[in-house]
Structure 1
Amino acid sequence: MRTAPLPEGDWIRGISIRQPWTAAVLTGDKAVENRPRPWKPGWVLLHASKSIDQAALRLPLVARAIRGRQLPTGAVVGVARITDCHQDPAGADLCSPWAHRGAFHLVLADVQELPLPIPARGQLGPWKPSPDLVTRVFQQLPDIHP
């Protein structure tokens, strides 16, 4: 059971990511998430969307990262901290093999996978999780002190 109280207020958001990309983030291999708009730094719940990107399952980079992993969907599966959000300059090398040209790159750190996925609904863009969901997530991660 959690001993340290969680912060109050608007300190955490949810980010919905399709599988297998979510699993690649949880392995630590994919430390960059691509988005069409910038996001603020801070903590996020990692939510695996209900759909699976079937084409991504055939990419060697993805296949190596997720080999043997389960691909839960429709659930919060972990937490991470966005430490930076940037776009790579035109003509420059991409910051990561996971980065897409023209996208905003959310740099993820302190990624922690939940022992048990928590069924939840996500949405496009940053979303505000309920206090109950946040409590349930951090009960599984008692050593994380955001």
Structure 2
Amino acid sequence: MSTTTLPGGDWIRGISIKQPWTTAILTGAKTIENRPRPWRPGWVLLHAGQQIDRPALRLPLVARTIRGRELATGAVVGVARLTDCHQDPPGSPPCTEWAQPDAWHLVLSDVQELLLPVPARGQLGPWKPAPDLLSQVLQQLPALRP
């Protein structure tokens, strides 16, 4: 994980993602998250939502990526650094095999999985984590600081 200095203030947000997509990000294979609107760069808590996208479990790309992994739900399962947000130009090939057309692609790096998922409630769009939730995450990732 990067040891660069993190910006002060609102330095980390939460992003809720349905399973199995959250686990695909944790494996390092899925380096983007598709969203309808752009997000600004910065650190994000990776929150596995309560719901599982069951049809996605039958996609070969997803099945290969998450094979043998547990799909935690309703918990923060990791952190990542959102480094870029873009859309693919019309008519161009997708930036990765995970990219959806017409979506904003949130580029994720420095992904770090928590050893113990931290139960939490997420929400749509970027959300600010409660101090207690952030404290529990930082206990597992002491080098991650504002």
Same fold (TM over 0.5): yes
The one-letter code sitting in structure 2 at the alignment partner of 1:17 is I
- Distance in 1, matches of 2:99 and 2:77, equals 22
Counterpart in 2 of 1:15? 15
- Distance in 2, matches of 1:63 and 1:34, equals 18
Counterpart in 1 of 2:112? 112
Counterpart in 2 of 1:88? 88
- Distance in 1, matches of 2:131 and 2:44, equals 13
Q: How does 1:1-146 map to 2 (within 5 A)?
A: 9-145=9-145
- Distance in 2, matches of 1:40 and 1:127, equals 12
Equivalent pairs: percent with the same residue?
73
Consecutive unaligned residues in structure 2, runs of 5 or more: 1-5
The one-letter code sitting in structure 2 at the alignment partner of 1:103 is A
Consecutive unaligned residues in structure 1, runs of 5 or more: 1-5
- Distance in 2, matches of 1:110 and 1:88, equals 22
| TM-score normalised by structure 1 residue count | 0.93
Q: Residue deviations 1:109-137, cap 9 Å, x none?
A: 00000000000000000001011111110
Q: Secondary structure at the match of 1:77?
A: strand
The one-letter code sitting in structure 2 at the alignment partner of 1:12 is I
- Distance in 1, matches of 2:70 and 2:20, equals 9
- Distance in 1, matches of 2:15 and 2:145, equals 19
Q: CA deviation at 1:144?
A: 3.3
- Distance in 2, matches of 1:140 and 1:7, equals 20
Q: CA deviation at 1:8?
A: 5.1
Counterpart in 1 of 2:3? none
- Distance in 2, matches of 1:29 and 1:73, equals 19
- Distance in 1, matches of 2:8 and 2:92, equals 40
The one-letter code sitting in structure 1 at the alignment partner of 2:50 is K
| TM-score normalised by structure 2 residue count | 0.93
Q: Secondary structure at the match of 1:22?
A: helix
The one-letter code sitting in structure 2 at the alignment partner of 1:113 is E
Aligned residues: 141
- Distance in 2, matches of 1:135 and 1:8, equals 16
**What's the C-alpha RMSD, in Å, of the aligned pairs?**
1.3
Say if 1:7 and 1:86 are closer, same or farther in 2 by CA, change over 3 A: closer
